[in-house]
Amino acid sequence: MRILRFVLPFLVVGQCMAQVSGTIVGGPNDARIAIAAPPFATVPGKEALGSEMAAVLSNDLEFSGLIRPLTRDLFPAGFAGFTSDATQINFDAWRHTPAKFLVHVYVTSEAGKLAAECRLMDVSTGQQVVGKRLASEESWWRLIAHQFADEIVRYLDGEPGIATSRVCYSGGTTGKKEIYVADYDGANETQLTKHGSISILPAFSPDGSKIAYVSYKDRYQFLYIYDLASGKSTALSKEVGMNSAPSWAPDGKRLAMVLSKDANSEIYLVNADGSNKQRLTNNPAVDSSPCFSPDGRQIAFVSERGGNPQIHVMDVTGANPHRVSFQGGKAYDPAWSPDGKSIAYVVETGGAGFEIYVMDADGSNPRQLTASGGSNESPSWSRDSRHVVFSSTRSGSPELWTANVTTGENRKVASIGVRAQGPDWGPRR
């Protein structure tokens, strides 16, 4: 069983709410905050682990888009690494580097358990500004690095990072797909379902303990909920016809879904135990792909009631439906950002091209996030509203990619070992 806990924090000196915007990646105008994260100091015999943990943390910081981890060639001349004692840091030497902050971590190991004393130091003052003691089983060492990276981002920006989060997705060959989960960076990929069928469109519950998904494991297209603690799947909806597109309400007590039991594709609400189905839409056009606003008061969805598929928004009661996508081209797959300000969606750009767009929640200011020419679909937001994960065929086979909403940078999620589609970005752990 995984063990991860916060113990009593070290003294936290000062407060910082640095706002980083207009980031220019690389070059003299790089607006990101420079941070040095040398290999973590460790007990004898764990030096390689200390280097790996520092590399994971540096990747997390860089991924945020707010931070520029310094490369080794920018460290002070003659720097040979940190010791366990943070009071021995030579801040005079570090002040001659671009580093604004230093990461100092000391890792101990006993009986398969790790403990890490984690500090963020202000180079200009030589003072500690963030401190945490973290512990885990040694096999979960990556989570310690992720956790402290999130704390560093919290200090610098006011909003924690998302390094501890995971993504779930459908993976496999054309005739057989299962539900998988992995760390946000693609590490620790784990197959969850073993139905030997087609299982798709997974969606994390708000607390990350369950995943709703579509499967043909019982011959027809039904909805199920997978419990990550027990590894068991239970049926959510087995109505006649299509059961699809599960979307959790922010309180985790209900889900929106698409059913065709009344001879048309309509959106319904249902309790998380499958009871009390309530129909929300009643239109002869196809309505699909529901997605809750973060306050739970509205639902974005796709409707063909205007002719072509477009993004619409309605109250959670089904009242006041109105169209919000007007950029041109058919629009699909809405995903509401956790801060409530934006909706990501897919636009059919002609031929076989599908690109990811983002607009303000009222439909204004549409902007394109991808331009790969392939099929880019199923956007899902990170909990900090800074990134979107999606599936893309730009390299041929479907893969998971992310886009930084501020900079527009696209990057492939490494280490995913299957053809991956339909991702959903889960909460922090």
Question: What pLDDT does 265 receive?
Answer: 97
Question: Averaged in consecutive runs of 10 residues, what is the pLDDT profile of the chain (429 residues)?
Answer: 33 34 53 97 97 98 97 96 97 98 97 96 98 96 98 97 98 90 98 97 98 97 98 98 98 98 95 97 96 98 95 98 94 98 94 91 97 94 98 96 96 95 97
CATH number of 166-425: 2.120.10.30
Give the integer Cα–Cα distance in Å for 311 and 429: 31
pTM, full prediction: 0.92
**Encoding tokens for residue 368?**
């394109």
Question: What pLDDT does 22 receive?
Answer: 38
**Encoding tokens for residue 427?**
């909460």
Domains 4-157 and 166-425 share a fold: no
Across 219-366, where does the E strand assignment appear? 220-227, 232-237, 243-248, 254-259, 266-271, 278-279, 287-292, 298-303, 310-315, 322-323, 331-336, 342-350, 353-360
**Encoding tokens for residue 284?**
């002869």
Whether the CB-CB separation of 222 and 235 falls below 8 Å is answered with yes
Report the top-level CATH class of 4-157: alpha beta
Longest pairwise C-alpha distance within the chain: 74
Could you tell me whether strands 298-303 and 310-315 are parallel, antiparallel, or unpaired per DSSP bridges? Answer: antiparallel
Domain boundaries, the chain: 4-157, 166-425
The SS3 assignment for 139 reads helix
The phi, psi pair for 24, rounded to 5°, reads -115, 115
Give the integer Cα–Cα distance in Å for 204 and 227: 10
